[in-house]
Structure 1
Amino acid sequence: MFALYITHPQVAIDPAVPVPDWGLSGRGRERAALAAASDWAGRIGRFVASTERKAVETADILAAGRVPVETDHAMGENDRSATGFLPPDAFEEAANWFFAHPQESFHGWERAVDAQARIVAAVERVLAAHDPTVPIAFVGHGGVGTLLKCRLNGTPIRRDRDQPAGGGNLFAFRLADRSVTCDWTAMESWKGF
């Protein structure tokens, strides 16, 4: 059986609102709805999302009321609250630094190695009590999703392993051995297994 890690799609960016409280934009909702109509979404028997609004909204759309959405605070994005909102260009520079220096903190951000340990532990904790015959989807964020994917692949933390810009991507892995079976793919384009 399989698991998916799905990142939230486009958000409504508002510098006056804390990043964890950002919701999906109209385009993000549209993309999530397209994915929810796919065959693979209907096969998911369990959704576990980060507690951040954009992740919960994505999971709710994908679950389409078929199954309840669980939340787990440990699945949140890397903690960047020390710098607050960064304009897009500055954010991209900071993200490049975050991935290039995983053992160090960018101006008070959670270190990449710590965020990786947290997301891996959260996923493993959920899977330890999960029925392996039921497909499961974890819904969260690009940064920690990339860190999880690096660990599952046994590769170093690097930005070139990150999802394409815009979010709303997924990768799949087998529950039996945690091997990644597909690279980042737009959630509305993935054809499933």
Structure 2
Amino acid sequence: MSIVRYLTHPQVQIDPDVPVPQWGLSSVGRTRTEALANAGWLANTTQIISSGERKAIETAEIIAGRLGVMIEIRDAMHENDRSATGFLKPDEFEKVADQFFAQPHLSVRGWERAIDAQARIVREVEAVLVRSRPGDVLFVGHGAVGTLLFCHYAGHPIDRIHDQPAGGGNCFAFAREERRVLHGWRRMEEIGT
């Protein structure tokens, strides 16, 4: 059975003066990813597909370097488009994110609608999976679109109750052939246990 995993990038270096897609991993995020790269549960991974955002690419590069696998970057796997607001302080961001998930058919403060972000991320994942290459597949991306992807494959309506745990660096998995969810969000440190 081929396994498809969707991994969210871990902690980032937050800089309000830098556009969010250009943020890189923090030292904590980098350390967590390096530990993950040495975990045996990724051994059968033959494809690593990354969002074009810097933090996702950095995460994918660390893992790919350890596994000796090339990275494919798919720019349309980016996080939900929040450029209308730019950087928001954490409390305000959480309120707007709650609205994003609660009202998936509406654009909250100019953000990409959740239903549109979900259709985009599903389209990107399916475009890769239709190739039917052997081995496991690792997608490296972001929390909001990852949650939307999880909702799609799990058959859940869009709802933030299905969001990843705080801090990023979480993974869910599904069986490639049946598109059946094998497990929901787990911290990267807990996958192989």
TM-score (norm 2): 0.97
Distance 1:78 1:149 in 2: 15
In angstroms, what is the RMSD of aligned CA positions?
0.9
* Separation in structure 2 between the aligned mates of residue 167 and residue 39 of structure 1, nearest angstrom: 20
Q: Which residue of 1 aligns with 2:136?
A: 135
Amino acid at match of 2:189: E
Instruction: Say yes or no: does 1:94 pair with 2:96.
Output: yes
Q: Which runs of 4+ in 1 moved over 3 A?
A: none
How far apart are the structure 2 equivalents of 1:44 and 1:26? 25
C-alpha separation in 1, matches of 2:102 and 2:145: 14
Q: Separation in 1 of the partners of 2:64 and 2:106?
A: 37
Gaps of 5+ in 1: none
Partner of 2:72: 70
Deviation at 1:41, TM superposition (A): 2.1
**Partners in 1 of 2:144 and 2:55 — Cα distance?**
14
Q: Distance in 2 between matches of 1:75 and 1:97?
A: 21
Residues 1:117 and 2:119 aligned together: yes
Distance 2:17 2:132 in 1: 39
Q: Deviation string for 1:113-146 (max 9, x for gaps)?
A: 0000000000001111131x31000000000000
In 1, the alpha carbon distance for the partners of 2:174 and 2:163 equals: 16
Pairs aligned (count): 191
Question: Deviations 1:42-86 (Å, cap 9, x if unpaired)?
Answer: 221110000000000000111125011110011100000000000
Give 1:189 shift.
Answer: 2.0
Give the 3-state SS of the residue equivalent to 2:29 in structure 1.
helix
* SS of equivalent to 2:112: coil
Which residues of structure 2 form unaligned runs of 5+? none
How far apart, in 2, do the equivalents of 1:189 and 1:34 lie? 12
Partners of 2:160 and 2:8 in 1: CA distance? 16
Give the corresponding residue for 1:30. Answer: 31
**Cα contact 1:32–1:188 (8 A) shared by 2:** no
Give the corresponding residue for 1:81: 83
TM-score (norm 1): 0.97
Partner of 2:184: 183
Deviations 1:148-185 (A, max 9, x none): 00000111000010000000000010001111101101
The sequence identity of aligned pairs, in percent, is 54
CA distance in 2 between counterparts of 1:43 and 1:61 reads 16
